[in-house]
């Protein structure tokens, strides 16, 4: 529950930064994460997760609100990568409907979630000031706490928390690295 609170708390400064024009969320990422969040929360719960369900719940509510904000405040045009990622979500939904297996659904949708992360990862390197680093650090902290809350170390239960720690940490790293690269280029141009 504490991890869920941290996770939801990470969205508050993120939403504020969006409204203030400091963050421009990638539309495809947040719509994909909303759809996948719903599927993962349902399949994760069906796989037996109880004590760590709070973060997946916040990853339905938070992305949905962010996706709504992205309509007005989102970044850029729709790209080929966005389309590929959305097609991946569609395939995942079809496979979920065909197989009705919570374990398969969880694994497929983590893969699809990663596809949804790709546009934001790319944007985090290319335009690192278009994302709120503090919010992403809170998301990473929430996911670390969530991983520590796992009470049964079975692959179906730890797969999603481990993935979320990795992906939010990767976004933080991309933002840090992208900002460092921009500062270094600026410093080099200034000295020349």
Residue-by-residue DSSP string for 114-159: HHHHHHHHHHHHHSGGGS-HHHHHHHHHHHHHHHHT-SS--HHHHH
Span 93-117, average pLDDT: 79
pLDDT at 166 > cutoff 80: yes
- What tens digit of pLDDT does each residue of 108-160 get? 878 888 888 888 898 899 989 988 899 999 989 988 988 888 777 877 778 88
| Coil, strand or helix at 79 | coil
User: What pLDDT score was predicted for residue 3?
Assistant: 77
Query: What b-and-e string marks burial along 146-180, b requiring 16 or more CB atoms within 10 Å of the CB?
Result: bbebbeeeeebbebbbbbbbebbbbbbebbeebbe
The answer to whether residues 30 and 66 touch, using CB atoms and an 8 Å cutoff, is yes
Angle value at C-alpha 101, between 98 and 107, nearest 5 degrees: 105
The answer to whether residues 7 and 139 touch, using CB atoms and an 8 Å cutoff, is yes
pLDDT at 63 > cutoff 90: yes
> The tokens of 32 are what?
């994909």
Q: Report which of 69, 49, 35, 66 is spatially closest to residue 156, judged by C-alpha positions.
A: 49
Span 36-40, average pLDDT: 80
User: What pLDDT score was predicted for residue 192?
Assistant: 62
Binned at pLDDT 50, 70 and 90, residue 56 comes out as confident
From residue 33, alpha-carbon distances to 15, 75, 105, 128 in Å are 16, 16, 15, 20
| Spatial distance between the Cα atoms of 14 and 168, rounded to a whole number of angstroms | 14
User: What pLDDT score was predicted for residue 140?
Assistant: 93
> Which of 85-89, 144-148, 154-158, 166-170 has the highest mean predicted lDDT (pLDDT)?
166-170
Binned at pLDDT 50, 70 and 90, residue 95 comes out as confident
User: What pLDDT score was predicted for residue 76?
Assistant: 65
Binned at pLDDT 50, 70 and 90, residue 49 comes out as low
């Amino acid at each position: 529950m504490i991890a869920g609170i941290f996770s939801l708390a990470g969205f508050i400064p993120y939403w504020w930064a969006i409204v203030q024009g400091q963050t421009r969320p990638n539309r495809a990422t947040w719509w994909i994460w909303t759809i996948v969040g719903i599927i993962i929360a349902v399949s994760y719960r069906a796989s037996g997760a109880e004590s760590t369900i709070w973060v997946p719940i916040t990853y339905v509510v938070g992305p949905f609100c962010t996706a709504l904000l992205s309509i007005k405040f989102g970044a850029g045009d729709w790209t080929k990568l966005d389309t590929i990622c959305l097609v991946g979500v569609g395939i995942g939904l079809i496979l979920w409907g065909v197989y009705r297996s919570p374990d398969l659904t969880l694994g497929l949708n983590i893969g699809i979630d990663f596809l949804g992360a790709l546009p934001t990862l790319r944007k985090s390197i290319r335009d690192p000031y278009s994302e709120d680093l503090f919010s992403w650090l809170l998301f990473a902290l929430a996911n670390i706490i969530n991983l520590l809350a796992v009470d049964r170390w079975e692959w179906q239960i730890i797969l999603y928390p481990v993935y979320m720690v990795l992906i939010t940490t990767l976004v933080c790293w991309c933002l840090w690295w992208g900002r460092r690269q921009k500062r270094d280029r600026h410093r080099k141009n200034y000295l020349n």
